[in-house]
Every structure is written in structure tokens, then in C-alpha cells.
Amino acid sequence: MMGSSITVESEPGRGSAFAFDLCAEFTNPDNFTSRQPAAVREAGPNHDFSGKRLLIAEDIEINREIIATLLEPTNITVDFAENGRAAYDRFTANPQNYDMIFMDIHMPEMDGFEASSLIRGCNGLWAKTVPIIAMTADVFKEDIEKCLAAGMNGHIGKPIDIDDVLAALNKYLPAHPRRG
């Protein structure tokens, strides 16, 4: 569909070699910004989150790298937690350090449901009000309802769409009081 190809050469007992050709067009391949999604390139002042801090709970390293790259042009500071337990620990160590949390659902040690419920159960207004957005491939209506029931404010489906991420940031960060 993209005008690309993939080939494989395999010899029993010796192994296999895979190769692919990918057809892509860049107006200026030396300019990183030209490779950013249009929503980020054309973001403008609506998507400048300088001074805001986001905690992202995500156990898969490549997903962390992707979301960090997508968010880089927004000037938001991002901290990562590799599982729900680490997210809970980071948040409770300094709750007012975070303006928002993106929470994966399926993680080792502690899933996003439990981590969100524990955060909401902490003492203090910040734990009750910090926006928590689920990030998961579970996108059925009942999945979204389960996220909301666990105390999350919203839901973003995977694979991540930068427009959805920017919409969540714009929805919750401006209205959320600045940490004091």
C-alpha cells in the first residue's frame, strides 16, 4: 500500500536475512522538524506547555521513546515510570511535582488501574484532582468506562495519535491549577 517491499532469504541450518525498502518523502531530511507530525509542526502557541511537568507510566521502552519524541516540541517536561508501582511512588514522593499523568494500563508489578486508584486514595487535594489519562490499546466502551471508574479523567488509544495527546494536554493543563 505504501509502494514499499520486504524480502527474505532463508537457508535451512544457516539462518535468514530480511530486508525492506521503504518509500518515504521528506522535503528536508536533515531538518528533524520536517519529520514531526503536522499537528506538532503547526502547533503554535496552543501547544507550548513550558513549565508543566508530565508523569508517564509506560513499561515498554520504545513507547517511551516515541511519546518523548512526539512531546519534545511542546516544551513539556516529562518524567517516566516503568510500571504502576514506580508511577505511584514517584507521584507520592512529591505530588505537586506533576501537572498531569498519562497511565498505561497493562504493566508489570502494578497495572494502571491499581496505580490510579491508589493515587486517588492518597490524602491531599492534588491526588484527588491531578488529571490522569489512560493510554492503552484497550479501546472498547467498557474499557474506557473501567478507566474512568478507576479514577482516570480520560482515555487515549494506542497506537498513540499526537492529536489525541495534544487534545488531552490542552483540555486538562490550562484548567488545572498551577502547582504551588
119 in a structural domain: yes
> How many domains, the chain?
1
Tell me how far apart the alpha carbons of residues 42 and 146 are, in angstroms, rounded to a whole number: 34
- What is the pTM (predicted TM-score) of this model? 0.73
Vertex 95: Cα angle to 90 and 97 (nearest 5): 85
Cβ atoms of 119 and 132 closer than 8 Å: yes
pLDDT over threshold 50, residue 33: no
- The pLDDT value recorded for residue 12 is 85
Has residue 15 been placed in a domain? no
Say if 142 falls within a structural domain: yes
Q: Determine the 3-state secondary structure of 30 from DSSP.
A: coil
> Tens of pLDDT along 91-134?
999 999 999 999 999 999 999 999 999 999 999 899 999 999 99
CA–CA separation, 91 vs 134, rounded Å? 16
pLDDT for 155-179, tens place per residue? 999 988 999 999 999 999 975 555 5
Task: Render pLDDT for 38-52 as a digit per residue (tens, 0 to 9).
Answer: 544 454 556 899 999
Please give the torsion angle defined by the CA atoms of residues 109, 103, 42 and 48, in that order, rounded to the nearest 10 degrees. -110
> In terms of residue numbers, what domain contains 58?
48-172
Task: Give the gyration radius of the chain's Cα atoms.
Answer: 19
- Residue 112 sits in a domain whose CATH number is 3.40.50.2300
Domain presence at residue 17: no
Whether 95 is covered by a domain: the verdict is yes
In a domain, 18, yes or no: no
Q: Is the pLDDT of residue 16 over 60?
A: yes
Cβ distance 54 to 131 under 8 Å? Answer: no
In a domain, 165, yes or no: yes
